[in-house]
Chain A
Amino acid sequence: GAGVSQTPSNKVTEKGKYVELRCDPISGHTALYWYRQSLGQGPEFLIYFQGTGAADDSGLPNDRFFAVRPEGSVSTLKIQRTERGDSAVYLCASSPRSNTEAFFGQGTRLTVV
């Protein structure tokens, strides 16, 4: 595809449920980033992959959040026991390599009710 693709675009879930958010980066991009963004704020860093490994996961807020990128391409962000405070737009971005501009997907709007 031409750009970063994220699915689903919208997800409404009940408090306590498990959700998976998918990111399909631009082909050949080795760096992949997950951010989340609340209204009126900038993107908040969650985790960064270089290839298959998580180079920096310091932004994951707690152990309910986990992300994988098993083949160095598609990544999945997994959230267990969702809470209302998890509601936000989850943005994925990819770069040809680290230290270059990031190309963002349209995001997944997660609403926990």
Chain B
Amino acid sequence: GQNIDQPTEMTATEGAIVQINCTYQTSGFNGLFWYQQHAGEAPTFLSYNVLDGLEEKGRFSSFLSRSKGYSYLLLKELQMKDSASYLCAVLTNAGKSTFGDGTTLTVKP
């Protein structure tokens, strides 16, 4: 099976940078997704990493280390609208994604 760990909650200040970590243990690893989910809404795709290294996309970046079973999502220039749950999901070579329980980020003025 899979084991995916993320911090439950984080708080940061508007304009700051925050890093949300995800560690995982899985067999048949085939990539890692990050999704954003606002309260009462569906998850929306943020990033996908399959190779080691950093993927940058605007204010959001995601990093993967396959050998360490570790990823992080980096959010820069935080805005109030970034307050949401951030979900780490591991894709296996069987074609399905398994989600962590998410990190609830609160951005304060």
Q: Which of B11-19, B60-68, B70-78, B97-105 contacts A (4 or more CB under 8 A)?
A: B97-105
* Interface residue total, chain A, C-beta cutoff 8 A: 24
Indicate if the CB atoms of B42 and A105 lie closer than 8 Å: yes
B95 adjacent to A42 (CB under 8 Å): no
Interface contact A43-B99, CB-CB below 8 Å: yes
> Is B30 in contact with chain A by the CB < 8 A criterion?
yes
Whether, in the assembled complex, A21 has its beta carbon less than 8 Å from a beta carbon of chain B, the answer is no
Complex formed: what's the CA distance from A112 to B87 in Å?
27
A-B contact count (CB 8 A): 55
B-side interface mostly = strand
Asked if residues B98 and A91 are in contact (CB atoms below 8 Å), the reply is: no
In the assembled complex, the CB of B74 is this many whole angstroms from the nearest CB of chain A, namely: 19
Alpha-carbon gap, A106 to B104, bound state (A): 19
Please, which residues of chain A bring their CB within 8 A of the CB of B101?
A: 40-42
**With A and B bound together, what is the CA distance between A99 and B4 in angstroms?**
18
Interface residues of B (CB under 8 A from A): 4, 30-31, 33, 41-45, 48, 87, 89, 91, 94-102
Give every chain B residue within 8 A of A91 (Cβ-Cβ): 42-43
Evaluate contact between A48 and B96: CB separation under 8 angstroms. yes
Contact present for B95 and A48 (CB under 8 Å): yes
Given A99-B91, A99-B95, output 9 extra A-B contacts at Cβ < 8 Å: A33-B97, A41-B101, A42-B89, A42-B101, A45-B97, A45-B99, A100-B48, A103-B45, A106-B41
